[in-house]
Structure 1
Amino acid sequence: MISALNRLVDLVEEKLDGELDVAGHAKAFGTTEYHLRRMFSSLAGMPLSEYLRRRRMTAAIADVVRDEDDLLSIAVRYGYGSAEAFGRAFRAVHGAGPGDVRRDGGPLRTQPLLRFRLSVEGSIPMETRIVDRPAFRLAGHATRVPFVREGVNPDIRRHIVALPPEAHARLKALSDTEPPGLLQVSDELDPDGAELTYLHGVAVAGEAPGDLDVIEVPAGRWAVFRTDGAHPEALQKVWAATATEWFPSNPWRLRPGPSIVSILEHSEDFGTATCELWLAVEPA
């Protein structure tokens, strides 16, 4: 996987002005685009699309500052259909538009070339089991939220707090299959890694009430990681360690599907918790 990721970084440099065939690259390395993108995001701390944009805008600095070509020509050179689209991407990376940088010489924020080096040390204990599950449904209350890598996601917290107590009690009564209890579900992470669908709900084996949001989950295998300690920090550390330690050491890869957190026990203030993290997997 590390060699596949480093070759992918090389391909980004070769395709700064063209299309990046991630699916073809993944196939050549015997994996899937889904797994490759998820591993890149977990290890790099940003989605592949964001890294590609940052590298393109880093390479574009020289063209913008030289003042030899008009901005439309530079935009087309880096795969943008208009000077406006290029300008938005440039400003998102550098904090200033290309015209401002051409005039003032800055500010500039460059993205260094990534290189993945992985040392698997087993530094985080990982209590794991593989579960083969038939199809089931996730039913509850869903919303789109920004993706937050560390700490509490305030949008998710507001979504949960806004639900009346009877809604939580109703969901608990509906839960009739694994994963058990009230669940925190992440699904449909967008290609830029900026937003995802969050569902506060439960797993049900049969039909769900029509007034609830539903995610259909096909049959398949799941890697289930048990976590214990400060919440959500312990959970987020184990989640990150699945990419740095567990997947490189085990014959499994991610498959498309929601990521599910089941909170088995928690303190009154939710400062500590025992959780299970369910990730959809398939043989690598």
Structure 2
Amino acid sequence: MDWVKQLNEAIHYIEENLTTEISYETISKIAGCSVYNFQRMFSYIADKPLSEYIRSRRLTMAAFDLLNSTDRIIDIALKYGYESPDSFSRAFKSFHGVLPSSVRNETVQLKSCPKLSFQITIKGAYHMNYQIEHWPAFKVMGISHKVKTAAAFEVIPGLWEKAWQDGTMRRFMENFPDYRPAGFLGIAAGGQWGDSEGMNYIIAVTNHVDVSECQPIPVLEGMEEFAFPAAAWAIFEANGELPDATQKVYKQFYTEWLPNSGYALADLPVIECYMQENRQEVWIALVKK
């Protein structure tokens, strides 16, 4: 499948550049999705963040260099992107449990992070409830926050907490339209297709769908309006306690559903819809291969 091939090509790029600068933009272009979506996808498939995988691979190879070469420790540190022996020693000890100097002076136990290789596996232990809809263009109104892509998973929960505290959610509820995508929306926009290491995270509600019977809801003061084109969306049920319910959907989507679907990711944000009574939907835009 092309999708699996693209993932393996992204891993090959990382492997070829462990001793040089690794560009997240280049990785995402190879994989054919945004930086944010690739990081999200990688974390669910590999069960670790992309940054941790890269760091672990570099420290794995650094240990091999210590064992198999006579290069100075400072030269090995610089080779794998560490600016000083101290920073290298701290990272090395955190990963391997021993100092770099001990590798050459003692018999020590080291850790190894092997190179990843992706392949299709058919599991199907849990069914997924989904539908594919060709949804018309629509608009949302809300608050946009600039977020560094690498810090998104840590920052975004705090944005929701702030929205509840500062009255944003109360204003939504007082002017709540019954349009789809439904509920409170979490949208990661921008940073598409490797063009940026930052993005806008939008907390919003849908205020217009481009059909004749839908009346636009005026944008509330202090909020912005964002437009999305007509597209094919795979809409997955993600009911249950958060964050486990949505995380389970993403893991199954990236590891089982997408590789076997005949679809590829479209150049549009992933939308999470939060409704009442632990009901959630995940909207993922797709294009037919």
- Give TM-score, length-normalised by structure 1: 0.70
Query: Does the aligned pair in 2 maintain the 1:64–1:101 contact within 8 Å?
Result: no
Amino acid across the alignment from 2:101: R
Counterpart Cα distance in 2 of 1:18 and 1:175: 50
Query: Does the aligned pair in 1 maintain the 2:141–2:206 contact within 8 Å?
Result: yes
Counterpart Cα distance in 1 of 2:100 and 2:119: 36
Counterpart Cα distance in 2 of 1:160 and 1:218: 26
- For 1:281, which of 283, 286, 289 is the aligned residue? 286
Counterpart Cα distance in 2 of 1:93 and 1:185: 37
SS in 1 for 2:125: coil
Tell me by how many angstroms 1:179 deviates: 0.8
- For 1:162, which of 148, 156, 165 is the aligned residue? 165
1:171-196 deviation line (CA, Å, top 9, x unaligned): 131546421222233456899xx997
Query: Does the aligned pair in 1 maintain the 2:137–2:230 contact within 8 Å?
Result: yes
Map of 1:139 onto structure 2: 142
Structure 1 unmatched runs, 5+: 267-272
Query: Does the aligned pair in 1 maintain the 2:138–2:206 contact within 8 Å?
Result: no
Do the aligned partners of residues 88 and 231 (structure 1) sit closer, same or farther apart at CA in structure 2, a change above 3 Å counting? same
Matches within 5 A, 1:25-104: 32-34=32-34, 39-64=41-66, 68-78=70-80, 80=81, 83-84=83-84, 88=87, 91-92=90-91, 94-95=93-94, 101-104=99-102
Q: In the alignment, is residue 240 of structure 1 matched against residue 251 of structure 2?
A: yes
Tell me by how many angstroms 1:209 deviates: 3.6
SS in 1 for 2:287: strand
Query: Does the aligned pair in 1 maintain the 2:41–2:250 contact within 8 Å?
Result: no
Tell me by how many angstroms 1:210 deviates: 5.0
Do the aligned partners of residues 122 and 23 (structure 1) sit closer, same or farther apart at CA in structure 2, a change above 3 Å counting? same
Tell me by how many angstroms 1:170 deviates: 2.0
Identical counterparts, % of pairs: 25
Counterpart Cα distance in 2 of 1:159 and 1:40: 28
1:101-152 deviation line (CA, Å, top 9, x unaligned): 233448965322323344223222222222333152341364756516xxxx
Query: Does the aligned pair in 2 maintain the 1:95–1:108 contact within 8 Å?
Result: no
Amino acid across the alignment from 2:166: L
Tell me by how many angstroms 1:252 deviates: 1.6
Q: In the alignment, is residue 220 of structure 1 matched against residue 231 of structure 2?
A: yes
Query: Does the aligned pair in 2 maintain the 1:183–1:202 contact within 8 Å?
Result: yes
Map of 1:203 onto structure 2: 206
**What is the root-mean-square deviation in Å for CA atoms of aligned residues?**
4.2
Map of 2:211 onto structure 1: none
Query: Does the aligned pair in 2 maintain the 1:184–1:260 contact within 8 Å?
Result: yes
Amino acid across the alignment from 1:155: G
Do the aligned partners of residues 135 and 75 (structure 1) sit closer, same or farther apart at CA in structure 2, a change above 3 Å counting? farther
Counterpart Cα distance in 2 of 1:107 and 1:68: 19
SS in 2 for 1:116: coil
Counterpart Cα distance in 1 of 2:112 and 2:161: 35
SS in 1 for 2:204: strand
Deviating more after overlay: 230-239 vs 273-282: 230-239
1:61-90 deviation line (CA, Å, top 9, x unaligned): 233567843455334533x3x624x86477
Tell me by how many angstroms 1:237 deviates: 0.9
SS in 2 for 1:74: helix
Counterpart Cα distance in 1 of 2:182 and 2:132: 16
1:237-268 deviation line (CA, Å, top 9, x unaligned): 112111122111212222343322223331xx
Do the aligned partners of residues 245 and 67 (structure 1) sit closer, same or farther apart at CA in structure 2, a change above 3 Å counting? closer
SS in 2 for 1:110: coil
Amino acid across the alignment from 1:40: F
1:21-60 deviation line (CA, Å, top 9, x unaligned): 88888888xx625476654343112344442332122101
SS in 1 for 2:143: strand
Amino acid across the alignment from 2:161: R
- Give TM-score, length-normalised by structure 2: 0.69
Amino acid across the alignment from 1:253: A
Query: Does the aligned pair in 1 maintain the 2:129–2:236 contact within 8 Å?
Result: yes
Query: Does the aligned pair in 2 maintain the 1:139–1:204 contact within 8 Å?
Result: no
Query: Does the aligned pair in 2 maintain the 1:4–1:26 contact within 8 Å?
Result: no
The one of the two structures with greater contact order (alpha-carbon pairs below 8 A, sep at least 6) is 2
